[in-house]
Amino acid sequence: MKPLTVRVDTSSPVPPYEQVRLQIADLILGGHLEENDRLPAVRQLAADLGLAAGTIARAYRELESATLVISRTGAGTRVAPRPARSREAQLADAASTYIANGRRVGASDDQLLAAVRIALSSAPSR
């Protein structure tokens, strides 16, 4: 089990379960926790953070509903396999990056589309 660095600010307006959920989700999505890595037991993490077990259980349930972890009775909670991303999702990400870069240099929608058309016309076809 990899060490889990999670901190809870009790003076924050963000509920403790949400702070835990956000931090663990960031660790998973950022690649610091990998597929099949085991998370601490609910009671152990609750004791480590000085929180109620129900608070950690809620954070884990939220992570499970987001398909980031899988919880099994007796086997604990582990990081879920990452689903393969569809071609459409990958293209949408690439398009979003292209648009953001174009906006940074002041390009309009028409200019962005024109640049795509030029690139498509000069690219080798498949």
Nearest to 48, CA basis, from 105, 8, 99, 97:
8
**Residues near 41 by Cβ (< 8 Å), separated by ≥ 6?**
76, 77
pLDDT at site 31 = 87
User: Could you give the residue ranges of the DSSP H alpha helices within the chain?
Assistant: 16-29, 42-49, 53-65, 87-104, 109-122
Inter-residue contact 99 to 108 (CB < 8 Å): no
pLDDT digits (tens, 9 = 90+) for 15-40: 999 999 999 999 998 889 999 999 99
In this predicted structure, the answer to whether residue 84 has a pLDDT above a threshold of 80 is no
* Residues 104 and 75 reside in one and the same domain: no
User: Quick one: 26 and 64 in the same domain?
Assistant: yes
Q: Is 20 contained in some domain?
A: yes
Residue span of the structural domain in which 53 resides: 16-79
* 5 lies in some domain: no
Pair (93, 70) in one structural domain: no
Band of residue 86 on the pLDDT scale cut at 50, 70, 90? confident
Q: Is residue 114 part of a domain?
A: yes
112, 65: one domain: no
